[in-house]
A = this chain, B = another copy of it.
C-alpha cells in the first residue's frame, strides 16, 4: 500500500504504539533517524511541575542528534527548567510536511508527512565536554560547517546556555506518502485530484548590513537545503 512502510524493527511501547492509521506506523530506528536528520525544528511538550491541572506546554525549538541522544537548548524551555533536578518527562515531536493530498471526497483529503514522536525524560547536561559537543552537534545539525566559521563560545556564554539530553529510546514515527485514496465509487466524481508537493526552501541569503565586503557567501548559505 502506498501509505504504509513496514516496520523492520517493531518495538513500540503501549505509549508509542500508533493508534490511528496504524498502517502508517514506523518503528525502525534508521527511518526515524532519517526524519530527525532532515528536520531541525521540534516541538517539546512538558508539564510544569506542581500545577494542579496537568496543563501541558508545547514549545518550538531546534535540536541536534548524537547517536541515540537528542539535545535541545534549555534556554528554549525555561519554564521546564524550574524543577529539573530529577529530570522532566517530555514528548518531542518532529514533523516534516511533504504535501497536500486532494481526493475527490472531502473525507479522503489528507496530507503527506513524516513525523516522529519521542517520549523520555529530559535531563540537564552538566559535563562541560558533553555540553560543548552537544552545542556543536546542534549547530552542525542546522548548518553543517558553520561552527568552525564562527567565533567560538566563551566561558560566560556557555554558563548562560543550558543543554538538555533526551534519550531516543521510546519512539515511533508516522509516514504518509503517495496519492489520494478515494472510495471506488468516488473516482467518477467530476473534480481535479492529486498532490500538491510542499517543501521548505531557502531563498537567496541576505547579507548583513555590517558585513566585511571581503566575505563571500559560504556554500552552506548559498545552497542551503535539508535534503541529505
Say yes or no for A97: interface residue by CB 8 A criterion.
yes
CB distance from A22 to the nearest CB of B (A): 11
Interface positions of A from 71 to 91, Cβ below 8 Å from B: 75-76, 78-79, 89-91
Copies in the complex: 2
The secondary structure that dominates the A interface is: mixed
Mask, A145-177, CB within 8 Å of B = 1, is 011011111100100110000000000000000
CB distance from A142 to the nearest CB of B (A): 7
Interface positions of A from 18 to 42, Cβ below 8 Å from B: 19-20, 41
Are A44 and B58 neighbours in the complex by a CB distance under 8 Å?
yes
By a beta-carbon cutoff of 8 Å, the part of chain A in contact with chain B is 15, 19-20, 41, 43-47, 53-60, 62, 75-76, 78-79, 89-93, 95, 97, 100, 102-107, 109, 111, 113, 115, 117, 119, 135, 139, 142-143, 146-147, 149-154, 157, 160-161, 179-180, 186-212, 215-218, 221, 224
